[in-house]
Amino acid sequence: MKSKIDPNADVARILEVDQHRGYAKWLRRWVVVAFLVIVAAAGVVIWRTSDKSDSTQFKTEEVKRGDLTVIVTATGTLQPTNKVDVGSELSGIVKTVEVDYNDRVKNGQVLARLDTSKLEAQVTQSRAALDSAKAKVLQVQATVLETRSKLTQFRKVRELSNNKVPSQSELDAAEAANERAKADEASAKAAVSQAQATLEANETDLSKSVIRSPINGIVLARNVEPGQTVAASFTAPVLFTLAEDLAQMDLHVNVDEADVGKVREGQRASFSVAAYPNRTFEARITQARYGSSTTSGVVTYETVLKVNNSDLSLRPGMTATADITVKKVESAILIPSAALRFTPPVQEEKKTSGSLVSSLLPRPPSSKQRDDLTINKQEQRVYVLKNNHPSPVSITVGSTNGGLTEVVAGDIQPGMAVVVDVVTGGK
C-alpha cells in the first residue's frame, strides 16, 4: 500500500525552520550592536580619565603684604538726639496755632491756645466758693465767741451762788454748745482749704490751655489746626513734635548677631544716605545695646552712633548704611579668601586591569577626599602649584574683611601664588 503524503504538513515544517533561523540571525545582530556600544562607552571613559589631568588648569593669585581693615556693615535710621512729643492734658477747641513746620522755638514759647471760656467760668465759680467758705469761717468764729462768753458767765454765777445757780444741766448744755461751735469752726476752715484747692486746680487747668514749648528746638511735626477739637481722655493727644538740636543727631543701626561681638563703644564709622550718594558722613559709636530684636528670624542688636550735622544736611528718618571699622591690621601677610575655599579635584587612579562594568559604575569617595572634608577648622589649608599640581600648605588665619584674609602663621610668604579656582579646558 502506498503511504499518503500531506503537503500542508511539509509546508508548515519548512516555515517553522525558516522562522527559527530568522530569529537567531536577529538576536546575533543585536548582541553585536550592544557589544559595540559598551566598547565605545568604555573607550570614552578611559579616554576622559587618562586625559583629565592634562586638561585641568588652575587659577592663582599672588600673596601680598599690606594693611587690612575689618568692617562691619549695618543699616538704620537717623533720629534727633532729643525728640519731644508735646500734647494737651485738657479737652477743648483749639483757638489759635502760633507755630508751623521747621519753626525754631524757645523754652516756654507759646505753640497753641485752647478756648478758655469754660475754664474761666470754673475759675470764677471756685473763687466765689472760696469767698463763701471764708465768710462761713467768720460766722462760725462769732458763734464760738458767743458760746464761750455764755459759758464763762455761767461758771462765774455758779461760783458766786455757791453752786446753786445755774443748774448743772444748764452748765453742761453751755459747755456742749461751745464745743459744737469749735467743731463748726474747724469744719469751716477745712471748707476754705478745699475751696482754695479747687480754685488752684481750675487756675492750673486755665494755664494749661496755653500749650508751651518745653525745650529749645525746631518743630518737626504739627498735628493740629485752629478750630479742631482736642479730646484728652486716657492718653494725651500729640499736637507737636519738637527736636531739641538737629546739629547733633543719632544714627540707630541694627548689627547682626554674628558681628555684634566685634562692635565696641568709641569705634569710628562712616555712612551714606540716598539723598547724597556721592558723600560720606563720619560717626562714632556711643552705645552698643544688649537688648535684641528678631525680624523674620534674624536677630540684631541696636547700636547708636553720634553724628555731626552742623550743616543740617541730614534729616530725621533718613535710612543710612554704615560701615563700622572694628579692626585695623598693619603690614600683614594677606591671601585672597577664595584660596581658603578652594578644594582640588579628586584624581582617579588609572587601572591596568579590571572589568568594564566596574569602570562604568560610580565609586565611593577616596580616602584623600574624605581627609579634605575633615580638616581641623582651626588650621586652614591653602594650595600652591608644584609641577602644575596643587600642593597643600597649612596656615593659621587671623582677621578677614571678606575679600582678603590675614595669615598669622604658616609657610606662606609675599610673592607666592596660591590656587583660588579650577579652569578646565576641553579637547
Would the pLDDT of 14 be above 60?
no
Mean pLDDT of 126-145: 95
Q: Between these two residues, 191 and 32, which has the higher pLDDT value?
A: 191
Supply the pLDDT for residue 33: 74
The predicted pLDDT at position 386 comes to 87
Cα torsion 274, 280, 281, 283 to 10°: value is 110
- Residue 193 CA, chain-centre distance (Å), reads 54
Helix axes 117-160, 168-208, angle to 10 degrees: 160
Residue 235 cell numbers, joined: 492718653
Helices (H), 274-373: 338-341, 356-360, 367-373
| Window from 142-146, 207-211, 389-393 with minimum mean pLDDT | 389-393
Residue 27, CA distances (Å) to 32, 33, 34, 40, 377 in order: 9, 10, 11, 20, 60
**CA separation for the pair 72, 65 (Å, rounded):** 22
pLDDT-based confidence at 411, cuts 50/70/90?
A: confident
What is the pLDDT, as a whole number, of residue 343? 87
- For the chain, give every domain's residue range: 1-50, 57-67+334-424, 72-81+245-328, 84-230
d(CA 282, CA 130): 63
* pLDDT of the residue at 350: 45
* pLDDT for res 363: 53
Whether the model pTM is above 0.75: no
Mean pLDDT, range 162-167, rounded to an integer: 87
- Determine the residue type at 235: T
CA distance from start to end of the chain: 83
CATH topology assigned to domain 57-67+334-424:
2.40.420
Rounded to an integer, what is the distance from CA 48 to the centroid of its chain?
A: 54
Residue 349's pLDDT is 45
- Classified as helix, coil or strand, 426 is coil
The mean predicted confidence, pLDDT, of the chain is 84
Multiple choice CATH, 84-230, 3.30.2030, 1.10.510, 1.10.287, 1.10.10: 1.10.287
* Mean pLDDT, rounded, for 37-53: 65
Tell me, rounded to whole angstroms, the distance of Cα 259 from its chain centroid: 14
Distances from the Cα of 322 to the Cα of 72, 75, 81, 146, 260, angstroms: 8, 6, 18, 86, 14
Q: Which three cell numbers stand for residue 62?
A: 599672588
Per the CB < 8 A criterion, the answer to whether 110 and 94 are in contact is no
Q: Is the pLDDT of residue 368 over 50?
A: no
CATH number of the structural domain 72-81+245-328:
2.40.30.170
Q: How is residue 253 annotated by DSSP?
A: E
Q: How far is CA 397 from CA 140, 378, 404, in A?
A: 95, 8, 11
**pLDDT-derived band of residue 7, with 50, 70 and 90 as boundaries?**
low
Q: Which band of pLDDT confidence, cut at 50, 70 and 90, is reported for residue 31?
A: confident
Tens-digit pLDDT profile for residues 243-256: 988 999 999 999 99
Residues 396 and 410: beta-carbon distance below 8 Å: yes
Bridge partners (DSSP) of residue 187 are: none
Query: What pLDDT was estimated at residue 284?
Result: 96
The pLDDT of residue 57:
83
User: 388-400 in b/e burial notation, b at 16+ Cβ within 10 A?
Assistant: eebeebebebebe
Of 10-24, 57-71, 371-385, 402-416, least confident by mean pLDDT is 10-24
